[in-house]
Structure 1
């Protein structure tokens, strides 16, 4: 008997944050997502690069989780012109990375939240191969089936049934079929 493949897989991903000088007197520095490091170890704002006033830090390491039910979203990401990874950043000033995902659908949920801003970076080649292998193992095409109405549960059409509290004849709902017979 063969074991079933796992429903989820995980990869630790290092988040690189870039600090650069601001361009106005009201913003002294700008913090942006600079990149990711697949299979990274733990870190806490470890300096990685310094080029004049611009610095990059390995801010933290988060877990990228792929679930077998997200393969449609992952396929959409992989077929994009540039496959990407999205990181949710929280806070003004030096941001805190809170979530990392390869699913564009999941990233859009974090964009709705007013506390987070979501930035994306290109997915490295090795990670693309890892995601493609996961999708090949788990994706099942489900054909679209248009739902049909169940007329037995809807009940027969009722004429003149409306809100019992309203006595006016004009405010009572009527189905279109009953109006045809009145002519």
Structure 2
């Protein structure tokens, strides 16, 4: 396995009218799918009632050896997830895919940046299997050493 294997995933979002006076739309991740080559970012995939499904785009999900402890904790949680970062836009379709990560710490850090929306989506089983294998091969337990004051 390479040091930072990557694979592409596509993100489908659902847009609904918001009941909040501060937001025009409410967004949620509808699906994480294999990349759909040829499908333009922002393409409307369908509509049901007041919900619109939109292909937000594709992104690389990379695994890094130094983050294996975070990946292991994500997998052990019982609800392994992918953190999807979206930028809200004033023009149609109203959203742009920024990043997708399996590292909970990286995903949480994206919540501190301005007008970004960060949602956790269930990790598809095939990604979880690849991530588990990556952790099995690359994880090195690091002993915690408490530093003493001088």
TM-score range, shorter chain: 0.7 to 0.9
In the other structure, the counterpart of 1:137 is: 137
User: What CA deviation, in whole Å up to 9, does each residue of 1:4-46 have, x standing for no partner?
Assistant: x421110101011111123367754323322211344353223
Could you tell me how far 1:59 is from its partner in structure 2?
Answer: 1.5
**Match for residue 72 of structure 1 among 69, 73, 77:** 69
- Is the 1:89–1:96 contact (alpha carbons within 8 Å) kept by the matching residues of 2? yes
Structure showing greater radius of gyration is: 1
Q: Partners of 2:38 and 2:10 in 1: how far apart?
A: 8
**What runs of 5+ residues in structure 2 fail to find an aligned partner?**
none
**What runs of 5+ residues in structure 1 fail to find an aligned partner?**
152-183
Residue 136 of structure 1: SS of its match in structure 2?
Answer: helix
Moved over 4 A (4+): 24-28
In the other structure, the counterpart of 1:60 is: 57
Residue 8 of structure 1: SS of its match in structure 2?
Answer: coil
Q: Partners of 1:27 and 1:105 in 2: how far apart?
A: 27
Q: Partners of 1:36 and 1:79 in 2: how far apart?
A: 20
Relative contact order: is structure 1 or structure 2 higher (C-alpha 8 Å, sep ≥ 6)? Answer: 2
Equivalent positions of 1:3-152 (< 5 A) are 5-23=1-19, 27-41=23-37, 43=39, 44-92=41-89, 94-149=94-149
Using structure 1 for the length normalisation, give the TM-score: 0.71
Q: CA RMSD in A?
A: 2.1
Using structure 2 for the length normalisation, give the TM-score: 0.85
